[in-house]
Amino acid sequence: MSFQFNFRQQQIVELAKLNGRVTVDDLAARFDVTPQTIRKDLNDLCGQRVLTRTHGGAILSSGVENVAYDARRGLAQVEKESIGRHAAALIPNNSSLLVNIGTTTEEVARHLVHHEGLLVLTNNIHVAAILTPSPRIDVIIAGGIVRKSDGGIIGESAIEFISQFKVDRAVIGVSAIDDDGALLDFDYREVLAARAIIKNARQVILVADAMKFTRSAPVRIGHISQVDVFVTDRPPPETIAEVCRHNGVTIEVVPGFENADDDGDD
């Protein structure tokens, strides 16, 4: 028997699609109900795998379409900023770099602006805009179709561009990480570019916040075993950690989030 959402629950799902996440306090005020009522709604929605609980609220857990770009930028913003700073510190001056589409990779770019002697190739117009003013960083941007939703450059031209290079490092972001270590995303065209980036780098740095452990996406980029360093804000689930250990993937957890509670506010 299928689960029937009530009107308030339907509205909660629509708000989550629009904003990327919802919080108990905001929903209680919006619908003029108690926080306990909202927690029950969220638990029902999470039970149907429509949402996933986070501290103080919930996020969209899966689907065939990603959360809107502006909403993604606001999700785990502090965590992404810390991941970006940490990952940037792993990249030495005077090196070449491929950077793919994503709000977390953009945070890495923001912390690279004072590096020197970098050659950065990207299919992300936001990364190019962030780094172009830096006097000691050269930026080359892929040609192709610009996806209006987030400024990602996709298509065959972008893949051909990426395939011309062999760089020292790649910085990649993903939309989800499955329990078996699969790296997932939503747009097949974006995935093809990400695969080319992984293939054409000597070292691959994966940047992803802990929300990616709870979400799902329909298109497979590759596997975490193809990564050299994984920078995240919390220790990954044991299944993923074991895959990393078995394949020699270094996990770097940024300080300050290791013991944070993401299980809700009950």
Q: Which residues fall within 8 angstroms of residue 129, CB to CB, at 6 or more apart?
A: none
For the record, the structure tokens of 182 come out as 């699969």
**Tokens 């306090």 — which residue?**
25
What Rg value do the Cα atoms of the chain yield, rounded? 19
pLDDT at 258: 57
**Tokens 């429509």 — which residue?**
50
Q: How far apart are CA 246 and CA 254, in angstroms?
A: 22
Taking only the tens of pLDDT, the chain with its 266 residues reads 345 788 899 899 888 877 778 999 999 999 999 999 999 999 988 888 788 888 889 887 666 556 666 667 667 789 999 999 999 999 999 999 999 999 999 999 999 999 999 999 999 999 999 999 999 999 999 999 898 888 999 999 999 999 999 999 999 999 999 999 999 998 898 999 999 999 999 999 999 999 899 888 899 999 999 999 999 999 999 999 999 999 999 999 998 875 554 444 43
Helix, strand, coil percentages, rounded to 5, for the chain: 40, 25, 35
Q: Which domains does the chain have, with CATH numbers?
A: 7-61 (1.10.10.10), 71-253 (3.40.50.1360)
Is the pTM value of this prediction over 0.85?
no
Q: How many CB atoms lie within 10 A of CB 93?
A: 12
For the record, the structure tokens of 212 come out as 């990616």
Report which residue type is found at 172: I
DSSP states of 75-123 as a string?
Answer: TTHHHHHHHHHHHHHTS-SS-EEEE-SSHHHHHHHHTSTT-SSEEEEES
